[in-house]
């Protein structure tokens, strides 16, 4: 009677291979645990449906400029005071705020951003405010993220305020060819596995980093231009983010033109004016889609436009950009808020920039957010 053989004796090669595989995996994940450094953008993620967004339930720290500030997200992956579960059903008036980096509130803790200030105030008015905003969002992403949450996830809300600005015209061109992945189990599984490996597997992380660094270097070598007052984007901490938004944009001639990256001036630049118009048109097509979606779900929609430095310096409260959106909103029966007069008025434009904006940056500082929140509070609750 032959003795019962163990698995190694029965299949030595296979067992060694399995053992080696498990060992490599262990070493890989252990190395990941030890050597993958959490950076100040770790709460951000690519998204298979709405391009990019924020990871849910994060308690992290962020860096936009020189400051490092707390950054928390709720269960939906929206910026919030702290990680918390958000019910899909509403039990009071619910407002969804959409926007880009201005609305995300870069360089500030959520409490100091206009949406954070409004969310705090909302408690007194039996209202809930959710902020679905992230850096480099534009009408295309606003539509996709709303479709994802309202239609796929069945999130309930009464009103949507969407904050747009001049940077959207570039984003719209960049996202023109972006198509969302299918909302099915396989896509979601692949997306989750990829994200898991990126954050935990040392090998996956390292290979991805090498490829990204190479691409980033090539990208910035092409776009480096001359800027007197501000730093080139490639020299700032938001450079990695900026690069990652161009993954679906292949127009190398445009990318190589430094003026393409100074989107604030497109409207005033003969060469770029037609491109600016195309960006506005794409944006309006996407907001039309968003408006239809809102109508189907009985949600009221309001657009708000905010100025950059270049608009403040031009001192026009209704420029080509504002005028175009104002007419669009009127035609489509969408609410419209012009934030330009808050920053373009009798005050000296440079004084306004100094008082309400981050140093050498188009985003509001704490005072700027206070000003916007105080203005919107009246519109929302009075």
- Which spans of this chain sit near another protein (rule: CB under 8 A)? 61, 63, 65-68, 231, 235-237, 313, 345-351, 354-355, 358-359, 365-366
User: What minimum distance in Å lies between the beta carbon of 381 and another protein?
Assistant: 27
- Judged by beta carbon, residue 60 or residue 322, the one nearer another protein is 60
Question: CA-to-CA distance for 364 and 357, rounded, in angstroms?
Answer: 4
Residue written as token pair 């993620």? 45
User: What minimum distance in Å lies between the beta carbon of 113 and another protein?
Assistant: 15
Q: In what order do the strands lie in the sheet with 93-99?
A: 59-63, 68-73, 79-80, 127-133, 93-99, 159-164, 300-305, 335-338
DSSP label of 364: B
- Judged by beta carbon, residue 323 or residue 347, the one nearer another protein is 347
Residue written as token pair 């705090």? 120
Residue 169's Cβ-count burial label (10 Å; 0-12, 13-18, 19+) is: buried
Question: CA-to-CA distance for 267 and 131, rounded, in angstroms?
Answer: 29
- Judged by beta carbon, residue 151 or residue 347, the one nearer another protein is 347
- Judged by beta carbon, residue 220 or residue 246, the one nearer another protein is 220
User: What minimum distance in Å lies between the beta carbon of 65 and another protein?
Assistant: 8
- Judged by beta carbon, residue 327 or residue 354, the one nearer another protein is 354
User: What minimum distance in Å lies between the beta carbon of 371 and another protein?
Assistant: 15
User: What minimum distance in Å lies between the beta carbon of 334 and another protein?
Assistant: 30
User: What minimum distance in Å lies between the beta carbon of 214 and another protein?
Assistant: 23
Q: Is-contact 336 329, C-beta < 8 A?
A: yes
User: What minimum distance in Å lies between the beta carbon of 340 and another protein?
Assistant: 16
Question: CA-to-CA distance for 112 and 370, rounded, in angstroms?
Answer: 7
Neighbouring CB atoms inside 10 A of 7's CB total 10
Six token digits for residue 41: 């953008």
Write out the H or E segment, with its range, that includes residue 73: strand 68-73
SS3 content of the chain, % helix, strand, coil (to 5): 55, 15, 35
Return phi, psi of residue 59, to 5°: -125, 90
Three-state DSSP state, 275 = helix
**Cα separation values, 284 from 20, 26, 265, 291, Å:** 56, 50, 20, 10
Ranges of H-type helices in 36-130: 101-104, 114-122
Q: Is-contact 312 349, C-beta < 8 A?
A: yes
- Judged by beta carbon, residue 179 or residue 345, the one nearer another protein is 345
Residue 71's Cβ-count burial label (10 Å; 0-12, 13-18, 19+) is: buried
- Judged by beta carbon, residue 63 or residue 125, the one nearer another protein is 63
Three-state DSSP state, 106 = coil
- Judged by beta carbon, residue 186 or residue 351, the one nearer another protein is 351
- Judged by beta carbon, residue 159 or residue 361, the one nearer another protein is 361
Sign, CA dihedral 169-173-179-180, equals negative
- Judged by beta carbon, residue 92 or residue 345, the one nearer another protein is 345
First-residue to last-residue Cα distance in the chain:
91
User: What minimum distance in Å lies between the beta carbon of 60 and another protein?
Assistant: 12
User: What minimum distance in Å lies between the beta carbon of 70 and another protein?
Assistant: 10
User: What minimum distance in Å lies between the beta carbon of 25 and another protein?
Assistant: 28
């Amino acid at each position: 009677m032959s003795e019962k053989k163990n698995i190694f004796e029965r299949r030595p090669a296979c067992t060694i291979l399995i053992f080696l595989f498990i060992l490599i995996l262990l070493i890989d994940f252990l190395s990941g645990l030890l050597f993958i450094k959490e950076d100040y953008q770790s709460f951000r993620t690519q998204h298979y449906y709405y391009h990019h967004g924020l990871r849910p339930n994060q308690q992290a720290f962020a860096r936009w400029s020189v400051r490092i500030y707390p950054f928390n997200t709720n269960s939906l992956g929206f910026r919030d005071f702290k990680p918390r579960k958000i019910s899909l059903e509403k039990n009071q008036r619910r407002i969804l705020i959409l926007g880009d980096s201005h609305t995300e509130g870069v360089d500030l803790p959520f409490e100091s951003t206009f949406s954070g200030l409004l969310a705090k105030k909302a408690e007194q008015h039996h209202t809930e405010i959710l902020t679905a905003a992230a850096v480099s969002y534009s009408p295309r992403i606003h539509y996709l993220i709303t479709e994802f949450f309202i239609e796929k996830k069945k999130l309930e809300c009464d009103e949507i305020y969407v904050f747009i600005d001049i940077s959207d015209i570039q984003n719209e061109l960049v996202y023109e060819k972006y198509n969302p992945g299918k909302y099915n189990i396989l896509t979601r599984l692949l997306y989750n596995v990829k994200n898991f490996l990126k954050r935990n597997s040392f090998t996956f992380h390292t290979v991805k980093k090498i490829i990204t660094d190479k691409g980033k270097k090539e990208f910035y070598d092409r776009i480096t231009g001359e800027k007197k007052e501000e730093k080139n984007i490639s020299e700032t901490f938001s450079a990695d983010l900026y690069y990652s938004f161009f993954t679906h944009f292949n127009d190398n001639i445009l990318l190589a033109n430094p003026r393409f990256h100074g989107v604030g001036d497109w409207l005033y630049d003969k060469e770029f004016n037609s491109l600016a118009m195309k960006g506005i048109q794409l944006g309006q097509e996407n907001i039309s889609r968003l408006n239809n979606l809102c109508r189907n779900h009985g949600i009221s929609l309001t657009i708000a436009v905010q100025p950059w430095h270049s608009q403040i310096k031009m001192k026009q409260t209704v420029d080509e950009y504002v005028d175009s959106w104002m007419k669009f909103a009127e035609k489509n029966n969408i609410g419209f808020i012009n934030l330009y007069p808050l920053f373009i008025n009798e005050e000296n434009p440079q004084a306004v920039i100094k008082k309400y904006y981050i140093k050498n940056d188009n985003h509001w500082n704490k005072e700027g957010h206070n000003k916007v929140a105080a203005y919107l509070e009246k519109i929302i609750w009075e």
